[in-house]
Every structure is written in structure tokens, then in C-alpha cells.
Structure 1
């Protein structure tokens, strides 16, 4: 364990515990810090507190950062659908079912394993588990991702994500018929208070904005285009479920009874646009929806 102790002064007074930790441990994600709070590795005045605890002046905050296991991620000869590649970036069309990076219990068969085999140089900003990974899409979401091949590219792409200037457009099939032609969901997303595998609309969550537009209406479903203004975990899935139109096939936020034999939610990252990190020019990529998506739409059209 890596033990650290802090005494709260007036600068951090009334700040949430998890926000305070994110300021003093800048290299750690907020979700990771919330997890170690939940795991009772963080004490305030020698007592366990929740992430939303508001700090008081002279509070003593004790933090035990667990030692990370040394992990070796092996390169694997896995086919990649590469849309574009140069010395700075690789743009990949990820198929449904592929995990982006290794995680506990899932250290092989990921996009990162395939990337390590394909190229020698990847950005090291996110460490050995997530080399080059600037942004992610869920395992059962297909579509376009950009990967950084060096740290300079990674920083510039991450800045575009932070400023919401990277264009990310998705195609989704949802349950029910959406009446309005377009709309926006602006609701904060955070970890579900009771079910850790789920995200939810929660007070104090991170701001999340999804714009959607109807492409086609069917008898009991709607095909929509979604444009992300922010990029929170499960954002489109949570927002569409919130307005009463969960994604078809979504095993977490969707209907329990599924009418199609699907491996996961019908969501495809169709379009990605960004300023090239070294050329300074805007480039945009588009991929067709996969076959399984086409087959479902064909059935609905009949």
C-alpha cells in the first residue's frame, strides 16, 4: 500500500471527497478514486466516508493507494479493419464483441492486444494496459476509434475530446416510436448507487449531453442518429433508456424480452472527425453499419 495523509485547509473546504482526491492524484481517474473510496481505502478522521462527503477544515484524509499488479499485455495476431494509418494515428473500425483494452479477467483478444502486434509504437500516456487508447466504445458497440501512436498525438486528441470538438456520430436502433424528429438529453451520468456494473442519471454525476435525430420510424422501433457532445460511459444507452427508448438488444438498460437474437445493443459509431495532431487539418471517417444491423433493419422494413 502507498499511504498518503492530508489535512484539509480552507482551499478544499466544502469540496466533495472524490473531487479532492482527483486534484491531489491527477494521474488517477475519478472512477478509480471513487472505487478506492468504496473499498474503504480512504478514511476521513479515521472513519469511512462516501464519495460525496463534503470536506471540512482540518479534516484528516488518509489514502491507501493499492499496489498495482504488474501486468504483461501480449501482442496477438488479430485481424484489424484499419480505415487510416500514418506515423501519428490509426483509425480502426472495431467489430461488435471486441473489448478495447485488457481488464481484470479479460487480458487477451482485445483491441490493444491486436494493436501491439500490428505496430511497434503506441502512446504510453495511459500505461501498459491502455497504450494509445484515447477514447473507448463498449465491447458490444461497433464502429470507429482513433488510436494515438505517440504521446504528442495523444495529448492533442485528448484535448479535442475535452473541448468537445471531436465529431462523434452514432447510429442506434431503439425501442418504441419517437414522436419528435429531433431532441437533446442533457442529464448527468454517474455510477449506479446500487449496481456497480451500471451507470445512471444521478445528482452530482458528470454532465452528459446527447443530441438525437430520427432517421426512420418502424411499427415499434425507431432508427436514430446520435451526436455526442460529451463522452461518458454508456452515455447513449443510459440517455435513451432515460427517455423511455432503450437500445434494442441492450442487456443492461434494455427490455428483458428481446425479439431478435442479438449479441448486444444495436449501436454503431458511424462517423468520427478530428483535427490531425501534426498536420493540423480536419479529417473525417465513416463506416457502414455491420451486417447484423442491416439484417434487423431488413426484418423491420418487412
Structure 2
């Protein structure tokens, strides 16, 4: 059981404990926090509290995170698009529509299921549900992911993400016509207090920076390349919406009248990192998927 501690800051005082704690980690929902409180996994100054407890400044919060539910991840033979593989690392090009890792209620058909069949050795740092997974991309985002085959590789790749030395470039189609050729969006991201399934820009969110460059302009759309400096959940989707240019096809952050794409037009095209063992810099590029190429051609013809 993992233990986390947090001392309540002045700006957090007076808020409900579930709200404060869910803002500390984007993977902790308020529902999850409330369940932990009821199960006695969260203590305030050494004592159990109710889910509606309002925190006071300097309250000492102790969070005992239960072990992840042990679920058998079933290896499934898949025709994976492997870009690189050795004893430490796999780089795979994930198709649009595929979920990265299993979750309760969604145990098959994920990238992890395919990886388990492809190679028997994946790191176990993230628990049974996410073996080998160092970073994620959304179900409807296509593109390159690095996967760790052992714990040494996992720790190295995670550290590179933390130190912001991993190269991650995405191609996206956004609504509107961006007038300037380059830009940087520096806006903190956290869960949307009005919608726990979504992320949004909020003052007390986690530091998030996206750089973008315009590649091509169409009548009502702009084709851009975005480079991540940080890797928050839904970062590009949230940041582009924040500056008024939401992703085409995005069902969560885009406008109601958008392109019928079954999800956002977003592709993780370039991935570069230092090899955990050899320390050599490796960089890979995956071309745009067929639907994206056809979409751009259609816009050029209309244009």
C-alpha cells in the first residue's frame, strides 16, 4: 500500500477534502477520494473524517493508496505497428480508436493486451493494469508511444519525461484560422470542477506548456504542429480550445458543429528520447494516418 502525505496550504483551507485531494493528482477523481475516505484510507491529523469534511490550514492529510485491483491482462495477438524494439524499449505506432491500457469494465482490445502477446517482458512499475506503459495518448489520438520492457528502462523514461527532455511532436487540425505562425501556450491544467470527466485551464492547475507552429491554413481550419513541454491529460486539446482554436472532431472540447471524424484529428508523429541503457538519442517519425491525409486533401481541394 502506497502512502502519500499533504499539508493543507492557506489557499486550500475551507474547501472540501475530496476537492482538494482530487486536484493534487489528475488520476484521482472525487468519487475515488470519497471511496477511500469511507474505507478509512484517508486520515486527517491521524483521525478518520467524513467525505464532506472542510480542511483547515496545516491539516496533515495521510493518504494510504490501496494496491491496484489485480486483473488478469489477457494477451491478444494483434498486428502491432512496431517502429523499434530491443531488450529494454518498444516504440509502437498506436492506431486511432485503440485504448492504451485495460481498465475495469474494459479489459480487452487495448494496446497493452497486444503488447503482452508480442513480448512477455514488460515493466511492472505501474501495476498489473498498465505493464510497460510510461506515457499515454488518448483513445482517438494516433501515434508513437514508448513502452518499457523492464523497470530500469521504465524509471529512465519516466525521469526523462519529468525532466522534459523527451521530444513529442503532434500534428493537429484545429477550427479557425490562426493568424500568427508560431505560439506558446503556458496555462495550468486541472480537472474541470464543473465536469470531472474533463480537464480545463484553472489558476491552481498543474504547470502546462505547449508550443505550436502553423503548417498550413484552410478557409475555416488550420493544420498545426504542437510540441509538448509538459504532458498533462488532454493537454493539446485543452490548450488549443483555451486560445480559441479547438481540435476538429473533438467530441469533448470541440464545438458542436465539427467534422465527423470519430474523435479529434490529432497524431503523435515524432517521438525522441535517450535510450535507457546506451544513452544514445533515438528519434522516430510516424506519417499521418490515412484518414488524416484524406482530410487534408479534401480541405485543399475545397480551398
TM-score normalised to the size of structure 1? 0.87
Q: For 1:214 and 1:203, how far apart are their aligned partners in 2?
A: 27
Q: For 2:111 and 2:94, how far apart are their aligned partners in 1?
A: 8
Q: Does 1:144 align with 2:148?
A: no
Spell out, residue by residue over 1:76-109, the C-alpha distance to the aligned partner (whole angstroms, 9 max, x if none): 0111000010001000011000000011221100
Distance 1:200 1:5, change over 3 A: closer
Q: Which runs of 5+ in 1 are unaligned?
A: 23-27
Distance 1:40 1:274, change over 3 A: closer
Name the structure 1 match of 2:9: 14
Matches within 5 A, 1:61-210: 61=61, 65=65, 68-210=68-210
Contact 2:174 2:247 in 1 (8 A): yes
Contact 2:68 2:127 in 1 (8 A): no
Secondary structure of the corresponding residue to residue 32 of structure 1: coil
CA shift for structure 1 position 251: 0.4
Matches within 5 A, 1:282-301: 282-301=281-300
Q: Does 1:31 align with 2:34?
A: no
CA shift for structure 1 position 299: 0.7
Q: For 2:215 and 2:176, how far apart are their aligned partners in 1?
A: 14
Spell out, residue by residue over 1:173-195, the C-alpha distance to the aligned partner (whole angstroms, 9 max, x if none): 00000001110110010011021
The Cα RMSD (Å) is 2.8
CA shift for structure 1 position 18: 8.1
Contact 1:95 1:142 in 2 (8 A): yes
Matches within 5 A, 1:244-259: 244-258=244-258
Contact 1:18 1:30 in 2 (8 A): no
The number of aligned residues is 288
Name the structure 2 match of 1:265: 264
CA shift for structure 1 position 112: 0.3
Q: For 1:112 and 1:5, how far apart are their aligned partners in 2?
A: 28
Contact 1:19 1:30 in 2 (8 A): no
Q: For 1:83 and 1:68, how far apart are their aligned partners in 2?
A: 30
Spell out, residue by residue over 1:29-80, the C-alpha distance to the aligned partner (whole angstroms, 9 max, x if none): 5532755334471464634358xx76534x4657575575331110001110
Contact 2:21 2:33 in 1 (8 A): no
Contact 1:37 1:49 in 2 (8 A): no
Secondary structure of the corresponding residue to residue 196 of structure 1: strand
Larger mean Cα displacement after TM superposition, 234-243 or 13-22: 13-22
Secondary structure of the corresponding residue to residue 156 of structure 2: helix
Q: For 2:4 and 2:253, how far apart are their aligned partners in 1?
A: 40
Q: For 1:271 and 1:242, how far apart are their aligned partners in 2?
A: 24
Distance 1:65 1:123, change over 3 A: closer
Q: For 1:153 and 1:68, how far apart are their aligned partners in 2?
A: 22
Q: Which runs of 5+ in 2 are unaligned?
A: none
CA shift for structure 1 position 14: 2.5
Q: For 2:169 and 2:149, how far apart are their aligned partners in 1?
A: 23
Q: For 1:262 and 1:292, how far apart are their aligned partners in 2?
A: 9
Spell out, residue by residue over 1:188-222, the C-alpha distance to the aligned partner (whole angstroms, 9 max, x if none): 10011021111011121101000000000001100
Contact 1:181 1:214 in 2 (8 A): yes
Name the structure 2 match of 1:48: 51
Q: For 2:260 and 2:235, how far apart are their aligned partners in 1?
A: 24
Contact 1:172 1:266 in 2 (8 A): yes
